[in-house]
Amino acid sequence: MAAVQRIRAVVALLDRSAERVARRLGFNAGDMAVLYILNRTAPGAPIRATDLQRSLMNTSGAVAKRLDRLQAAALVRREPDPSDGRAQLVAITAEGRALVIASRAAISAEARPRFGDVMTPREWAQLNQLLDRLVDYAQAMDAPIPSHRRIDVTP
């Protein structure tokens, strides 16, 4: 459990960096989490808003407000689900993908002075592989992990 506490400490530092970057970009970390999740989909491949809600572990109202903000900024688009008229499909726009790239670069630039020299590129790659194994194992054990947490930790 000591390892989990250390991982949480690192995540807290990275979360603070992500929040600062999101604020500079005019959003909050929760809005950016939506974009990160959508960015992992194939271009033009929407996901159901309810699946997004489950990934974020937020209420439908909170997700709707985030989507309203992101849609108003032309970062996502919503459309009715043709297979279920009550559901919505959500996709990231090209502008949204560009914002994700910019935010990741800014977070990396902010994290690099803190973490960059701590490990070699090979060690960072190993850490990412180990974290992927932990996430895969936890998901296989049916322990939900918000998909926005699964990010490359390389500074």
Q: Which of 108, 83, 106, 96 is nearest to 37 (CA)?
A: 96
Mean per-residue pLDDT, 72-85: 90
First and final CA of the chain: distance in angstroms? Answer: 25
pLDDT at 140 over 80: no
All structural domains of the chain, each given as residue ranges with its CATH number in brackets, are: 2-113 (1.10.10.10)
Assess contact for 124 and 118: CB atoms under 8 A.
no
Tens of pLDDT, residue by residue over 44-54, are 688 888 888 88
Rounded mean pLDDT of the chain?
A: 83
Say what the pLDDT of residue 148 is.
46
Tens of pLDDT, residue by residue over 99-132, are 999 998 888 888 888 777 788 888 888 988 988 8
Assess contact for 136 and 55: CB atoms under 8 A.
no
pTM for the structure as a whole: 0.74
Q: Does residue 8 or residue 72 have the better pLDDT? A: 72
Say what the pLDDT of residue 60 is.
85
Burial 110-135 (b: 16+ CB within 10 A, else e): bbeeebeeeeeeeebeeeeeebeeee
What are the φ and ψ backbone dihedral angles of 40, each rounded to 5 degrees?
-80, -10
